[in-house]
Amino acid sequence: MSPYSGDIVVRGGRENNLKNISLTIPKGRLTVFAGLSGSGKSSLVFDTIAVESRRQLNETFPAFVRNRLARAERPRADAIENLSTAIVVDQKPLGGSARSTVGTLTDVHPVLRVLFSRYGRPSAGPSNAYSFNDPRGMCEHCEGLGRTAAADLARLIDESLSLNEGALTFPAFAVGTASWQIYAESGLFDPDKPIAEFTAKERELLLNGGGFSVKRRTRHSVFRNEYEGVVTRFNRRYLKRDADALGDRDRRALAEVVREETCPRCAGARLNAAALRTRIGPHTIADHCAMEISDLIRVLEAVDDPAPRPVLTAALAALRRIEDIGLGYLSLDRPTPTVSGGEGQRLKTVRHLGSSLTDVTYVFDEPSVGLHPRDVHRLTGLLRALRDKGNTVLVVEHDREVIAAADHVVELGPGAGAHGGAIVYEGPPAGLRAADTVTGRQLRRTPRVKDSFRAWDETLTVRDADQHNLRNITVEVPAGVLTAVTGVAGSGKSTLVSGALAAQHPRAISVDQSSTGISPRSTPATHTGVMDTVRRLFARANDVDPGLFSFNSDGGCPECRGRGVVQTDLAFLDPVTVTCEACDGLRYRPEALAHRLDGRTVVEVLALTADDALDFFTDDKVLRRLSALHDVGLGYLTLGQPLSTLSGGERQRLKLAGRLHEAGDLYLFDEPTTGLHMADVAGLLDLLNRLVDGGNTVVVVEHDLDVVREADWVIDLGPGPGHHGGRVVFEGTPAQLLAAPDSLTAEHLRAAARD
């Protein structure tokens, strides 16, 4: 089409790995962007088109408003034309604190509060009286959380030890930390005296004391800190904070020393007694929120009183939209931090379904994540509905069915990282199937179930599992083979594997769907732990301190503080980022760059790709961790690349690589194909098979049929989601699954074989 037709035009796109690309994207159409993970799809769609749309939209606001909005720099491109307002629906976890639920996220809970405040009997008052986030409605005992948590002193403090011996077991209070100094070096206690020998007064002061300050001495200075007892400090810093704001290490440590239980006063309903006395028919608002959304719809439809009809109509409209996108099995009281990435993305979409806006650009990041093949048609129907309202829909996707549903397809490649960033195909889906590209070749491939399976002698038994929707099931998981746990979204797969199986085998190496941090100061080298060894190798070779080779520490350029760039905040104008003139963008001070390891500076080492670094290093620990990067298909990443520039799929695989070096014999993976192109799945399967051939047991929760075909054993849960699931529908080999009559997974496995 002509660039003057009104279609979106990008000229000279150079963001991240894009190679000066130019293209025209038809407006009012559903366009899918395909290609290997790391090929440049997100760089084009999110970092170029969506960022520029939002940046230009922000420029229309007054300066006062702009100064309070998130600001972004102009993407690296010669021109980006004919943009419309972009609404981004990404895979970022919903997050939020324990106070955020599906009901509050989708704005259904406020409607129910109005319903109960107007028509419930006896009324507790205005709508805020039914809010667990308002003092007028929340349970006083648990402050509206539904659960109470307290430090388990027997786990937090080992009373047989002294402070100097590490009596405070929580890592943040370990010997040598600032917190430990407040107790051990303040003069209040004998640091060599076992806690068990403390007097009652000393014990109370250690645990709950406060109201005065103490001195804490470091190598460079003396600080005066407000004293808090161990329990007081622990509660303030950890129990009263959102757990999602903590690092992975702190969250794991917290789980070891905290005792959590359902609030005894509200029985987990979060509300006070007055709110829980109010009913519409036989149900309280807590009853409504605890129901699965599909069941709640039926309950509200049965209300025959005409008075609340306007409020009921609003509630039912929102609830039906949630059900229509396949999430009817969720309940409104489900905390948002427990919602998977795929579920979260669909919930974000709900708020747009009732909108009357047109000529909007909707941008989706792999919306099929977490969807069973049965449910993908719901997704494509949703995308087409948004398009048919007069909107432009841009989707980054790997799923065959979503690609086939597109009006237009753009494939980037031909490879990933430095080998990607070019447009290798533009046109209709039918043309892509015939194209000589990575995606085209995969679409032409007819996958088959393998014909031989590993045998086993032992099993891991999960007995009487009844968490969430599991129906008191007992499952035998074969040891020493690859097992795929399948079923529709919400059928209980993650509960069985990441919940019941992981709980019974706490030493298992478990990789779930939680997000990986994306700090620009984090790199593949730091994330995998390689950087620690690299610093030591440089220090040993040059007889200097290891900190000199960290740009986050002593080695960082003082001008840019190890960032490599200097950003100037121009108030309400776009920020300006320029390469640091002092270090020329290298992040390090000259003293660090004066030292070498086998002829290379630390900057040159960090510029190596993981694959190239395998030939440079000889240290066994480094080689193991770099091999893990290669094994998950990330050998093209440079060791020093900021994680903030990685795609969602790359970050998921990086997290997987970070756990592969750990010693263990049981691996539990929750949807490891997330973010992977069809061609990349083959590499993942090679890795999983190598783990099994090395004597390990591997269990994967998966929807990807390529993984199911290659498994030795399949456990299919269902038959449906929520309370319609939680049962074992099938156990056996993939070949036996093909003949299973009552399995939705079997139905789609057969259909794929016919295609």
Model pLDDT for residues 445-459, shown as the tens digit of each residue:
888 899 899 999 999
Residue 652 falls inside a structural domain: no
Are 587 and 674 in the same domain? no
Query: In this structure, how many other beta carbons lie within 10 angstroms of the beta carbon of residue 564?
Result: 22
Residue 39 has pLDDT above 60, yes or no: yes
Segment 340-349 shows an average pLDDT of 80
Residue 290 falls inside a structural domain: yes
Higher pLDDT, 21 or 565: 21
Host domain of residue 223? 149-262
Are 613 and 482 in the same domain? no
Indicate the average pLDDT of the chain: 90
**Is the Cα torsion angle 9, 13, 17, 19 positive or negative in sign?**
positive
pLDDT digits (tens, 9 = 90+) for 92-127: 767 667 789 999 999 999 999 999 999 999 999 999
Are 142 and 286 in the same domain? yes
pLDDT at 99: 87
Which range is least confidently modeled, 114-123, 142-151, 513-522? 513-522
pLDDT at 95: 63
Are 360 and 291 in the same domain? no
pLDDT at 357: 86
Q: Return the percentage of the chain with pLDDT > 90, whole number.
A: 65
Which range is least confidently modeled, 86-95, 160-169, 405-414? 86-95
Are 558 and 593 in the same domain? yes
Q: In the listed set 262, 282, 313, which residue is the last one of a domain according to the structure?
A: 262
List beta partners, residue 668.
510, 699
Are 294 and 397 in the same domain? no
- pLDDT bucket at 169, cuts 50 / 70 / 90: very high
pLDDT digits (tens, 9 = 90+) for 190-244: 999 999 999 999 999 999 999 898 888 766 667 788 999 999 999 888 887 656 5
pLDDT digits (tens, 9 = 90+) for 676-719: 899 989 888 998 999 999 999 999 999 999 999 999 999 999 99
Residue 1 falls inside a structural domain: no
Q: d(Cα 413, Cα 409) in Å, to the nearest integer?
A: 13
Total number of domains in the chain: 5
Higher pLDDT, 370 or 199: 199
Which residues, 6 or more positions from 322, have their beta carbon under 8 angstroms from its beta carbon?
106, 108, 293, 328, 330, 347, 350
pLDDT at 159: 94
Question: Beta strand pairing status for 147-151 and 258-262?
Answer: antiparallel
- pLDDT bucket at 409, cuts 50 / 70 / 90: very high
Are 54 and 196 in the same domain? no
pLDDT at 4: 42
Residue 371 has pLDDT above 90, yes or no: no
pLDDT digits (tens, 9 = 90+) for 284-328: 999 999 999 999 999 999 998 898 999 999 999 999 999 988 899
Residue 451 falls inside a structural domain: no
Q: Return the percentage of the chain with pLDDT > 70, whole number.
A: 95
Are 277 and 323 in the same domain? yes
Q: In the listed set 282, 314, 336, which residue is the last one of a domain according to the structure?
A: 336
Residue 339 has pLDDT above 90, yes or no: no
- pLDDT bucket at 752, cuts 50 / 70 / 90: confident
pLDDT at 188: 93
Instruction: State CA 525 to chain mean position distance.
Output: 20
pLDDT at 625: 92
Q: Which CATH number goes with the domain that contains 254?
A: 1.10.8.280
Q: Which CATH number goes with the domain that contains 604?
A: 1.20.1580.10
Are 424 and 498 in the same domain? no
Residue 134 has pLDDT above 80, yes or no: yes
Are 209 and 287 in the same domain? no
Residue 686 falls inside a structural domain: yes
Q: Which CATH number goes with the domain that contains 369?
A: 3.40.50.300
Are 634 and 605 in the same domain? yes
Residue 7 has pLDDT above 90, yes or no: yes
pLDDT at 192: 95
Residue 519 falls inside a structural domain: no
Residue 582 falls inside a structural domain: yes
pLDDT at 569: 58
Burial class for 224, CB neighbours closer than 10 Å (0-12, 13-18, 19+): exposed
pLDDT at 101: 94
Q: Is 12 helix (H, G, I), strand (E, B) or coil?
A: strand
Residue 595 has pLDDT above 50, yes or no: yes
pLDDT digits (tens, 9 = 90+) for 476-516: 999 999 999 999 988 999 999 999 999 888 889 988 776 66
First to last CA, the chain: 33
Instruction: Give one word for 454, left, alpha or beta, with left for phi > 0 and alpha for psi -120 to 50.
Output: beta
pLDDT at 2: 40
Segment 258-269 shows an average pLDDT of 93
Q: d(Cα 674, Cα 352) in Å, to the nearest integer?
A: 25
Q: 476: which 2 tokens?
A: 């035998």
Contact 481, 475 (CB under 8 A): no
Are 88 and 135 in the same domain? no
Q: What angle do CA 456, 457, 463 make, to 5 degrees?
A: 95
Q: In the listed set 288, 317, 336, which residue is the last one of a domain according to the structure?
A: 336
Residue 566 has pLDDT above 90, yes or no: no
Residue 513 falls inside a structural domain: no
pLDDT at 242: 59
